Amino acid sequence: MTPTQRKLLKVLHQQIETEGRCQTLQGLATSMLVKSTSHIAKMIWALDEQGLITRVPGKAHSIELTKRGLKEVGILSEFFPVPIELLLPGGTLCGKFERDGNTVKISVPEWPVHSGPPKITGMPRIVPLDQPEDK
């Protein structure tokens, strides 16, 4: 992907998020400071070919970013796998994230009433449950 295509992908995402749809080719050309709408059309075709967006042929404003496209603009991250555990320094479990269909369930352990939650001294670590923990 070229830097200009990445910029267009980000513009498309921003417009879809704020307006619910993308602009016309002329509007995209204006947003991108490009004179030619055919250049925008070629970039959209290239993004579609790369699997970063989907379009409904013959329907205006029908562009949507795919999961891969969302990863490219930084919305989805492969660096936050699910399931994971959140461990405090020293290895104390303070939370677990698990996928349940399209949602992520978050569970935290119950702390004994007399002791309260542990005092946190340092940053928690994220440990993917399907990968061995580094020591």
As assigned by CATH, the class of the 3-72 domain is mainly alpha
Residue 62 vs residues 22, 44, 55, 68, 103: alpha-carbon distances, Å: 8, 12, 5, 17, 26
CA dist 88 → 77, 81, 106, 127 (Å) = 22, 18, 16, 11
Domain ranges in the chain are 3-72, 84-128
pTM, two decimal places = 0.56
pLDDT digits (tens, 9 = 90+) for 47-78: 999 999 998 777 878 888 888 888 888 765 54
Higher pLDDT, 20 or 104: 20
Q: What is the pLDDT confidence band of residue 135, given thresholds at 50, 70 and 90?
A: very low
Secondary structure (DSSP) of the chain: --HHHHHHHHHHHHHHHHHSS---HHHHHHHHT-S-HHHHHHHHHHHHHTTSEE--TT-TT--EE-HHHHHHTTSS-TTS-SSEEEE-TTS-EEEEEEEETTEEEEE-PPPPTTT-SPPP-S--EEEETTSPPP-
Q: Is it the case that residue 91 has pLDDT exceeding 90?
A: no
Higher pLDDT, 20 or 124: 20
Confidence band for 21, pLDDT divided at 50, 70 and 90: confident
